[in-house]
Chains A and B, each alone.
Chain A
Amino acid sequence: MVDIVFWIIVGITIGSAFMVVQSKSLLYSAYALLFTFVGVTGLYVFLWADFLAVVQIVVYVGGILVLIIFGIMLTNKITSVNISHASVQKGIGGVVVLGIIGVLGYMVFITPWNQLAATEPEQTSATIGRLLMMDYLLPFEVASLLLLGALIAATTLSRKEN
């Protein structure tokens, strides 16, 4: 049962990723990217990375994708009906992709993989929380300064646009 769900999620991820590059309309690509992100979330769950799964949903699906769609709507060519992107140089691209697949596949087979006993790792969120609050407290607080910088930068940049 779990295996079936895993392969369905893999299918959704790869299928929608293919739609992203294949679709002629930018907006369709953006919406297909939504399914890719959700599929990757599922893969994180299968890797026992529960915190990353939450981040993937909250930041990528909830934030980055909205930004991408707004980015498309902000562009000039929205006034013409089809905002499309053409695929150019498919032949050379295909050769490059096949080369990369070959190298990666070769790597997969020659790497001596560590075989671990199939024990269930503990939930990562609690561990990350504990580390953030004790060992990495300073980086945690500095992160808020980084976000503050991003806030001020976003405000300043958008004001110049007007």
Chain B
Amino acid sequence: MAENYLPILVIFVLAAGFAFVSLIITHLVGPRVTNAVKMMPYESGVDQVGKTRIRFSIRFFLIALLFIIFDIEIVFLYPWAVVFKDFLSAGSFIFFEMVVFLAILAFGFIYVWRNGALEWE
């Protein structure tokens, strides 16, 4: 079974290798021209506005929390999707099992939306 994961391992090695090789090559062959303007910090091509190290809005944390909850929803979807075809021959019950599950969470999503938690004022 461990051999079944070989493609994933190859992707991991390729991704890590690409990152390292790119870093090393740019370090070796990239020209290094430094002057005052070039060393100046900038944001999206314009001059810096304010400090770099600011405290982030609590909104980021809320979005991350909401993301984890829907992440866990996907964890439940995964074993369901694996057995979906086997169960489908015995009727569409398995489909509605997941519809109920998703409907409850969709209700939560609408609640969050209506409460303005996704607004970014």
Contact = CB atoms under 8 A, between A and B. Distances in A.
Interface in B64-112: 64-69, 71-76, 78-83, 86-87, 94, 97, 100-102, 104-105, 107-109, 111-112
Contacts of A48: 1
A15 B53 CA distance: 29
Contact of B60 (A2, A74, A125, A132): A74
Contacts of A70: 56, 60-61, 64
A132 B56 contact: no
A63 B69 CA distance: 9
Contacts of B26: none
B83 A159 contact: no
Contact of B53 (A2, A71, A79): A79
**Most chain A beta carbons < 10 A, residue from B55, B82, B94, B109:** B82
**Most chain B beta carbons < 10 A, residue from A75, A120, A147:** A147
B82 to A, nearest CB: 5
Interface residues of A, number: 52
Contacts of B62: 154-155, 158
Contacts of A152: 108, 111-112
Interface residues of B, number: 49
Interface in B32-82: 51, 53-56, 58-62, 64-69, 71-76, 78-82
B68 A64 contact: yes
A114 interface: no
A2 B68 CA distance: 33
A78 B111 contact: no
Contacts of A162: 58
Contact of B83 (A59, A73, A75, A129): A129
Contacts of A98: none
Closest A-B pairs by Cβ, 4 of them: A129-B79, A129-B83, A151-B108, A63-B68
Interface of A: 2, 5, 45-46, 48, 51, 54-55, 58-59, 62-64, 66-67, 70-71, 73-76, 78-81, 120-121, 123, 125-126, 128-130, 132-133, 137, 140-141, 143-145, 147-148, 150-152, 154-155, 158-159, 161-162
Interface of B: 1-3, 5, 9, 51, 53-56, 58-62, 64-69, 71-76, 78-83, 86-87, 94, 97, 100-102, 104-105, 107-109, 111-112, 115, 117
22 contacts: A2-B3, A59-B75, A66-B64, A67-B68, A74-B55, A74-B58, A74-B61, A78-B55, A78-B56, A125-B82, A130-B83, A141-B100, A144-B73, A144-B101, A144-B104, A147-B69, A147-B104, A154-B66, A154-B112, A154-B117, A155-B62, A159-B115
